[in-house]
Structure 1
Amino acid sequence: MSADMDRFMREFEQLVECESPSADLQSLARSAALVSTVGTDLLGVRPRILAPEGYPHVLWRFGDGPRRVVLIGHHDTVWPLGTIRRLPFSDVDGIIRGPGTDDMKGGVLIALHGLAAAQDRRGNLDGVSLLVTGDEELGSITSQRLIEDEARGADAALVFESGGTDGAVKIARKGVAIYQLEVRGRASHAGVEPERGINATIEVASQVLRIAELGNAQAGTSVVPTVLNSGTTTNTVPATARVGIDSRAKTVAEQQRVDVALRTLRPVHPGSRLLLHGGINRPPFETEQSLGLYGRAQRIAARLGHPPLRSIGVGGGSDGNFTAGLGVPTLDGLGTVGGGSHADSEHAVKAWIPRRIELVAALVADLLG
């Protein structure tokens, strides 16, 4: 293992052991400070830490001119505090385990080391930005505007979510929309005068069946009723009910079709009222936004002697959806190669890390000319 990999592994362990659940602002602040320290040591430039609504996002901007290449990652994870005691960082037989190893502490480090190598090669990184956000797992609630402002007009956006199991990069992602349908009825005593109530459970059951019919498997569109709750006690006609809805679509047209259909739902049972909350969270990341950049990365990987660089499309969204939605050429999945994100089996394969760093460094240098 090279000296650079020794350093990478020390930093990797530090980042993973600095737990950063998305909803814990104090933990996120500690994590952002550590990302800042590690990145400053590598790049020689101190970033800004921006904290809208308390969520810390770490931003490096090189040069004063227009943005040409924007790199995007996140330092928050889905794992609650204390997970590191149950799932400690480990490096056994080339498999690195621990909370956030694949999603995406390793990806953040690959971006930092790749930029450091590109800087050594070129002498400067003018026109490059690296944004490491702190709320991606919550839907980028405070960072979306930062991402879009930084990427708008750029030549390329590189996203450091994990790659496919064979090192494939991600050239398409479905758009994501999250809703909650609220049903309002009227309570009454279930045993004495049920006829005076308006049963929100019955109404929401009817709506769930309608919602489930909105998907289109042939078009790659899913509309899934998820979390459901209603009522208060077993002897009360329920006055309220709620159902969560997760929708994914490959195209803007399909995403908008579902949105319109949900907003035009009407009550089945007289007296019921429907209120729809939420909406489109991420636009689709369509393949045409990535093909040119993907071809460029393929040629660079071949020149470096890497295995053929393959591609995949996935259902989950990322911050790459925002950049692609702006029309910025976007390539995702440039982080670790491993698996098990959000699960106890989360891991990264060590052998892929030097390849990813080399690819990122060469790709950034090529894009900057």
Structure 2
Amino acid sequence: MGDNNNALETAASKLPDMLDRFRMLVDCESPSNDQRGLEVCAVLIRPWLSAALERSVRLERVGENVHVLAEAPDPRVLVLGHFDTVWPVGTTADWPFSITDGIATGPGTFDMKGGIVQVIAAIELLQDASHVSVLLTSDEEVGSASSRVLIEEQARKAGAVLVCEPSADGGAVKIGRKGIANYRVSVTGRAAHAGLEPELGVNAGVELAHQILAIADLASGDTSVVPTVLTAGTTVNTVPESAQCAVDARSWALSDLQQVDRAMFALAPHLPGATVTVTGEIDRPPFEEHSARRLFGEAASAARELGIGPLQAVRSGGASDGNLTAAIGVPTLDGLGAVGGHPHARNEHVDVTAMPERVALLAVLLERLRHLSPAA
């Protein structure tokens, strides 16, 4: 990359190519549970990224999942993202990619195919990308089970992580995220005829109701504990023999999540004869603000160099793979992707007029991190 003063102009010149790639990437549907679609998407991305980096990019297979990995010869920074989406195959038939008045819409535009397009364009601005590793995964939306070890391994090698997930409102980056714990509470009772002899049954639905009230009481302050999907019973005239509920818990602090975790596994039945079984764990530890402090300083300085105004930073209640890298002690900055709004919703969109600024910001930041020590 040449003079930073020319970075915005160069990035703007790449916008037509970015939009062509953007359209192809959104048209390539890639829901997390569709291995064929994910494979096709990975194959589409691979040559774009390889050409930008001027080195080989491999498809890393973990079980049934395929991830796109470009390891740097001298890794100093890992650019992290994902190409799976929450949208089922066929969504583009009634909601195709389109751009109107500078706003791109379509499934996965904001979360996070616009970010992937920007990553490739930013790398193209660098004269030398030998310090930049890139990992794009295919299972972030469903918990990163197959990619977690790979993410942590590449993050440790690089020593710093830039997550190109969607930005917050107005283009703000993300310097903290809540951690997430997920549980399933299973209740076993005893079936009986609801009309003839209900007294012989143990109503798993009633027991679950007691448990739901106890679980909801675990919420405190900014720590949320929410029973979500509930099921019970088999027929309308039978005392339910079994019942289940899912629980979503989130907090800014690991200690608070650990307290919820202990309480969940201490749940006990209220009704004689009922049993309560809890499974689950803390899936993604919190991404705490100290992990982003240095990288945000670099990003804010890069924004000033480019003359694109003060860079804002926020915390987010949603989680990302940045939670995983921050939790192992690797400096992490998130939300460096597209500017837009409403991920996972039918009005998901990207402001394509903001793409050149985001590309230039990422490119300048990557250049600044060239000399970052992996131990920093």
TM-score by length of 1: 0.95
Paired residue for 1:266? 268
**Aligned counterpart for 1:88 among listed residues 96, 100, 109:** 96
CA deviation after TM superposition for structure 1 residue 46, in Å: 2.8
Q: Gapped runs of 5+ residues in structure 2?
A: 1-8, 372-376
Paired residue for 2:54? 44
* TM-superposition CA deviations, 1:180-229 (whole Å, max 9, x none): 10001111111222122111001000000000000112xx1000000000
**Aligned counterpart for 1:33 among listed residues 13, 36, 43:** 43
3-state SS, counterpart of residue 323 of structure 2:
helix
Deviates more, 1:206-215 or 1:86-95: 86-95
CA deviation after TM superposition for structure 1 residue 3, in Å: 3.8
**Aligned counterpart for 2:327 among listed residues 325, 328, 333:** 325
Aligned length: 361
Give the letter aligned to residue 236 of structure 1. T
Give the letter aligned to residue 276 of structure 2. L
Paired residue for 1:79? 87
> Where do 1:205-224 residues align within 5 Å?
205-217=209-221, 220-224=222-226
Q: How large is the RMSD of aligned CA atoms in angstroms?
A: 1.2
Paired residue for 1:18? 28
Q: Quick check: 1:108 aligned with 2:116? A: yes
Paired residue for 1:158? 162
> Where do 1:4-15 residues align within 5 Å?
4-15=14-25
Instruction: Judge conservation of contact 1:76–1:133 (CA < 8 Å) in 2.
Output: yes
Paired residue for 1:131? 135
Give the letter aligned to residue 155 of structure 1. G
**Aligned counterpart for 2:282 among listed residues 280, 284, 294:** 280
TM-score by length of 2: 0.94
Give the letter aligned to residue 193 of structure 1. E
CA distance in 2, matches of 1:164, 1:349: 13
Paired residue for 1:191? 195
Give the letter aligned to residue 256 of structure 1. Q
CA distance in 2, matches of 1:4, 1:46: 22
Instruction: Judge conservation of contact 1:153–1:328 (CA < 8 Å) in 2.
Output: no
Q: Any runs of at least 4 consecutive aligned residues in structure 1 with deviations exceeding 4 A, and if so which?
A: none
Instruction: Judge conservation of contact 2:166–2:337 (CA < 8 Å) in 1.
Output: yes
Paired residue for 1:289? 291
3-state SS, counterpart of residue 63 of structure 2:
helix
Give the letter aligned to residue 110 of structure 1. Q
Instruction: Judge conservation of contact 2:133–2:158 (CA < 8 Å) in 1.
Output: no
Identity within the alignment, %: 45
Q: Gapped runs of 5+ residues in structure 1?
A: none
CA distance in 2, matches of 1:99, 1:36: 21
Instruction: Judge conservation of contact 1:16–1:100 (CA < 8 Å) in 2.
Output: yes
Deviates more, 1:40-49 or 1:321-330: 40-49
CA distance in 2, matches of 1:13, 1:110: 13
Instruction: Judge conservation of contact 2:225–2:248 (CA < 8 Å) in 1.
Output: yes
